[in-house]
Amino acid sequence: MISTNKEINVPFVDLHAQYLELKDEIDNVIKKVIKSSSFIRGDYVLKFEEDFSRYLGIKNCISCANGTDALYIAMKALGVKSGDEVIVPAHSWISTSETVTQAGGKVIFCDTKKDTFNIDPSKIEEKITSKTVGIIPVHLCGKPAEIKSIIKIAKENNIWILEDCAQAHGAMYHDQKVGTFGDAATFSFYPGKNLGAMGDAGAIVTNNDFLATKMAMFARHGGLKKGEHLIEGINSRLDGLQAAILSVKLPKLEEWNLRRQKNAEKYNELLFSNENLILPFSSKNSEDVWHLYMIKTDHRDELIEKLNSHNIKTGLNYPVSLPFLEAYKNYNHSPKDFPNAFYNQSRILSLPMYPHLTDMQINHVVSILKELQNK
């Protein structure tokens, strides 16, 4: 179909542009994996686990099938059992909460902050009971949660911290990479994430060798050697092709994050917050990797339609906060239990954000947003 619209297209993410930047290397490595038949485990998987732990400066990386499995495996290794309560931010992707239940625990939601979308440290303590075993801070949108305050609360209450870093590869809090603060951290390499495979992939990282062994064991049918099954586990593995592709992309992550930061700065420069449109919060002590550039507006439906009619695609991350999902209706939560998450869910809108976004594309998005701002 020939487009009669001369306007610029702005997809929500552009994975093809990312592929083209590394086409030769990716095509080559795929051929190599096929030639060596290293499809499951093998050298490419080991290499990526080493590459990723070196990148983060952490002792152990246990690869697995996806970011959801990573959370589940981590909690099985942390020993979550029936009756245990785990605190989870009200605003996240469902993986963060559903895996608590799968591991055998009970999800306890905590409200998020109105401006950062991350868990509100001032509301954590009131959620802690004698049954609380851990907390899962999510670094949503690539913006670090207030992890130092969370560590203080966790230490005082003797509970573990599992960081959900699915949206925050390379983000820093007080000059330290997220994923290195908690007892363990999980990553997703879903294609659209800041570091993405060409299919599903995930990993858990930890400095705790004992936990690392338990995680690897659980993810590999309960044993680390062929024929060994010390416990019942699951099958969750990163395959050789994805691992090889991730090792090719990893050296580009810092540059791509920088390009995301530049793009966010450009949006910030060209737009301003007013009553029709609120720009994302800019953090002082942290380095945001802008997985998402999420604005807030009271005119969301109208704006989505307008942007859409100008070939600009947007996202909703996420339109219903976790406590209000059908899946949790048995909790009987009401908006007043999580006022900020509830307030935000109907106003948030994710604008196009990826490293290969061009100035022309940003200007196009901005020109439409300005019409709303100046209304």
Give residues in contact with ligand PLP (CB under 6 A).
66-68, 92-93, 95-96, 138, 164, 166-167, 188, 190, 200, 202
Query: What minimum distance in Å lies between the beta carbon of 193 and ligand PLP?
Result: 6
The residue (of 233 and 315) whose beta carbon lies closer to ligand PLP is 315
Asked whether the CA dihedral 145, 148, 149, 150 is positive or negative, the reply is positive
The residue (of 96 and 286) whose beta carbon lies closer to ligand PLP is 96
Query: What minimum distance in Å lies between the beta carbon of 275 and ligand PLP?
Result: 30
Pairwise CA distance, residues 205 & 163, whole Å: 10
Pairwise CA distance, residues 321 & 110, whole Å: 11
For the purposes of burial, counting CB atoms within 10 Å of the CB of 337, is it exposed (0-12), middle (13-18) or buried (19 or more)? middle
Query: What minimum distance in Å lies between the beta carbon of 93 and ligand PLP?
Result: 4
- Cross-strand partners of 350: 294, 315
Answer whether 221's CB lies under 8 Å from 233's CB. Answer: yes
The residue (of 112 and 361) whose beta carbon lies closer to ligand PLP is 112
The residue (of 257 and 361) whose beta carbon lies closer to ligand PLP is 257
Query: What minimum distance in Å lies between the beta carbon of 241 and ligand PLP?
Result: 16
Query: What minimum distance in Å lies between the beta carbon of 244 and ligand PLP?
Result: 18
What DSSP letter does each residue of 73-138 carry, written as one string? HHHHHTT--TT-EEEEESSS-THHHHHHHHTT-EEEEEPBPTTT-SB-GGGTGGG--TTEEEE--B
The residue (of 173 and 277) whose beta carbon lies closer to ligand PLP is 173
